[in-house]
Homo-oligomer: A and B are copies of this chain.
Amino acid sequence: MWIYEKKLQYPVRVSKCDPRMAKLLIEQYGGSDGELAAALRYLNQRYSIPDKVIGLLTDIGTEEFAHLEMIATMVYKLTKDATPEQLEEAGLGPHYVNHNRALFYENAAGVPWTAAYIAAKGDPIADLYEDIAAEEKARATYQWLIDLTDDVDLIDSLKFLREREIVHAQRFKEAVEMLKDERDRQKIF
């Protein structure tokens, strides 16, 4: 079970009301390679992965929920002072007529999140490569988002998140090598 602590993993600041950037950021909230996909993917694999990797999946999965909360906070801050007209101007008209200023688990084009984005194979090597790929894809998405803003405060938060994905990818690569070594040792003896 989880206990909620009322703070963000890393401070989130935005320089200005910017619904245009909010629309794009939603990709990391409810998009194919966003934080929801990451958190749910790792926590789900815990039951069939070898014991020694469970802790890693729990830690990273739980951290991804903290990232999801950071993204939500960014989107909220970027839109809370926008008028309906400004939201529509930024391409959020379709979002507004359904959700007003509420968030939703959708990608930047407005497509709802689906579990079809993630995999769980019950094969530890395959699952860890799935996880490495997930982190590499999330890293790329953060880069494409940074490309489209010059808000230094926002960039600071996005760079923190991108860096965390790189660290996670490294941890998963170490885990897969460990499991492969073990598998090879078992074949020998």
Contact = CB atoms under 8 A, between A and B. Distances in A.
A113 B110 contact: no
Contact of A94 (B108, B126, B143): B108
Contacts of A110: 94, 107-111
Contacts of A113: 114-115
Interface in A1-39: 1-5, 7-9, 20, 23-24, 27, 30-33, 36
A120 interface: yes
A148 B32 CA distance: 30
A98 B102 contact: no
Given A5-B3, A47-B72, A140-B121, A31 B114 contact: no
23 contacts: A1-B66, A2-B4, A2-B62, A4-B62, A23-B93, A27-B98, A32-B98, A32-B116, A36-B40, A84-B147, A97-B108, A97-B141, A98-B144, A102-B122, A103-B120, A105-B118, A106-B115, A109-B111, A111-B112, A112-B115, A123-B137, A126-B137, A133-B133
Copies of this chain assembled into the complex: 6
A124 to B, nearest CB: 10
Given A2-B66, A40-B105, A120-B103, A33 B98 contact: yes
Contact of A98 (B31, B129, B130): B31
Contacts of A119: 32-33, 133, 137
A185 to B, nearest CB: 20
Contacts of A91: 91, 93
B116 A143 contact: no
Contacts of A76: 47-48
A85 B117 CA distance: 27
